[in-house]
Amino acid sequence: MAVSNKELEFNKNEDALKMLISEMEQKLAKIYQGGGKGRIEKQHEQGKLTARERIEKLIDPGSQTLEIAAFAGDGMYEEHGGCPSGGVVVVIGYVTGRQCIIVANDATVKAGAWFPITGKKNLRAQEIAMDNHLPIIYLVDSAGVFLPMQDEIFPDKEHFGRIFRNNAVMSSKGITQIAAVMGSCVAGGAYLPIMSDESLIVDKTGTIFLAGSYLVKAAIGESIDNETLGGATTHTAISGVCDYKCANDEECLKTIRSLMDKIGEKEKAGFDRIEATKPKKDEKEIYGIFPRDRAKPYNTYEIIERLVDNSEFTEYKSDYGKSIICCYARIDGWSVGIVANQREVVKNAKGEMQFGGVIYTDSADKAARFIMVCNQKNIPLVFLQDVSGFMVGSKSEHAGIIKDGAKMVNAMANSVVPKFTIVMGNSYGAGNYAMCGKAYDPRLIVSWPTAELAVMSGAAAAKTLLQIEVASLKAKGEEVDEVKQKELYDKIKSRYDKQISPYYSASRIWIDAIIDPLQTRKVISMGIEMANHHKAEQRYNVGALQT
């Protein structure tokens, strides 16, 4: 039986996306090795577990986890030997049935030293904890600031000191913080565990001091060993700095689990959830539906049907503003409002063609009102991004695209219900902003391996930059023939393509994770569950948008 063109295209799409997922998994496998096999063995020789082993023993067996910023630092700091995963592992998981966020220094990476991206990743973990009133557990094992880059990690607002400020703010908000000193904890870093609500320290391997024995000798002439200066016995029996002394890593993790088990419940946000059902349509078909060529259209409804419970949704204003889909649905039982770019070329109510992935005036108007209605109903929002930007040209300008676009951005920015963003494909220009990019405080923002985040596509940017470069060279009297232009174009596009890769974004924590599309439901469900810990204090007046 002959294979149809549609089936052939489906198979090619499926193969291409599976290859991207395989590439992602290979990259992750390397990152999971931290500083390498030799340093992992050295950690074990010291009687210590690695950061990932500690987390594995701390969380509930068989429970779901979501790692945040695994690709942090990817391709950065090569002159210093690299910094896999930013030298710290951050996971949202479950400890004695309670959802929490865990931050574990990876001592196999430069002894757990803090690079600039390490600080940014720790601050992102704290931001998640604060936004969602999620308990946070710190597993401390760090040599402190990476001194060759101290000017990029120490003095600014979003640098190292912000972490201790956040410790104080979280305590004032009643957000549980538990810190375990399982290795080095020196200088300014010594404040983190002590500014937490409760602290543990592991005997013989955990140490806390503002200055180690060598610095103490140099500064004041006192001779003392590190264990006497700031070991477990010192800080539990003499200084009273720590609350619990533990014999080893295993006992320490067991004690943390016991502490987590006793935390009382607080008022929830009240997001609606019923018994979850799987989508009727096969989720794996997303692989074949999503095109390998990002210029090709596809029907976003087919993606939504494979993400939502029972493949059912109720569409809002289905005949209006067709380049954005707005609908109510359930994901893993949770009630959600979905705002998705429609990538299929469609006709609007006037019979005019609307191109896929572009936001038009009517679409922006519809999305703005839908966002406000979801706020009134206390329904979390999910943004499915595959957007090229807002429509340009005289017709759009005269129709008020700036006004309607601003209305959509305003409604989205002021949303008080939690927002979750999935970057499926393109995320270009102001479209990134309107569809809840990182600047607009989504509780979680993740991408598929097919994503691109940039001001514009690589080809469009390269053509624009080429024109500028050619004009500059001609102004200097240089001849630029077609061969030279092609060389310049290829060079510019190659550099730009690297920057729009999802890995470039993930390494800088512009997104929280790159995921297999089949993990999308899990990410949204775990995200809403954590958001449900904290009740929003205000609601929208939907009538305000009537005008």
Tens-digit pLDDT profile for residues 356-401: 789 999 999 999 999 999 999 999 999 999 998 888 778 878 777 8
Q: Give CA–CA dist 188/160, Å, rounded.
A: 9
pLDDT tens track for 137-147: 999 999 888 87
Decide: residue 167, CB within 10 A, 0-12 exposed, 13-18 middle, 19+ buried: buried
Arithmetic mean of pLDDT, 212-232: 84
pLDDT at site 249: 97
Arithmetic mean of pLDDT, 324-341: 98
pLDDT tens track for 396-418: 787 778 888 899 999 999 999 99
Tell me how crowded residue 479 is: count the other CB atoms within 10 A of its CB: 7
Q: How far is CA 253 from CA 123, 182, 248, 263, 288, in A?
A: 23, 10, 9, 16, 43
For the CA atoms of 476, 479, 480, 482, the dihedral, rounded to the nearest 10 degrees, stands at: 170
Q: Of residues 486 and 259, which shows the higher confidence score?
A: 259
Q: Worst-scoring range by mean pLDDT, 49-53, 252-256, 484-488, 503-507?
A: 484-488
Q: Give CA–CA dist 102/135, Å, rounded.
A: 9
Tell me how crowded residue 239 is: count the other CB atoms within 10 A of its CB: 11
pLDDT at site 536: 73
Decide: residue 519, CB within 10 A, 0-12 exposed, 13-18 middle, 19+ buried: middle
Q: How far is CA 91 from CA 84, 124, 298, 404, in A?
A: 15, 11, 34, 38
Q: Give CA–CA dist 50/249, Å, rounded.
A: 10
Arithmetic mean of pLDDT, 315-336: 97
Arithmetic mean of pLDDT, 322-329: 96
pLDDT at 546 > cutoff 60:
no
**Helices and strands (H and E) in the chain: how many:** 20, 20
Yes or no: say if 256 and 490 are a contact pair by the CB < 8 Å rule: no
pLDDT at site 396: 77
According to DSSP, the β-strands at 66-68 and 88-95 are antiparallel
Decide: residue 464, CB within 10 A, 0-12 exposed, 13-18 middle, 19+ buried: middle
Its sign, for the CA torsion 311, 313, 317, 323, is: negative
Q: Give CA–CA dist 6/499, Å, rounded.
A: 33
Q: In residues, how long is the chain?
A: 547
Cα three-residue angle 290-75-491, rounded to 5 degrees: 75
Confidence of residue 441 (pLDDT cuts 50, 70, 90): very high
Could you give the percent of the chain with pLDDT greater than 90? 69
Cα-trace Rg, the chain: 26
Residue type, 357: G
Q: Give CA–CA dist 502/440, Å, rounded.
A: 19
Q: How far is CA 533 from CA 129, 382, 424, 516, 536, in A?
A: 10, 18, 28, 27, 10
pLDDT at site 157: 83
Could you give the percent of the chain with pLDDT greater than 70? 97
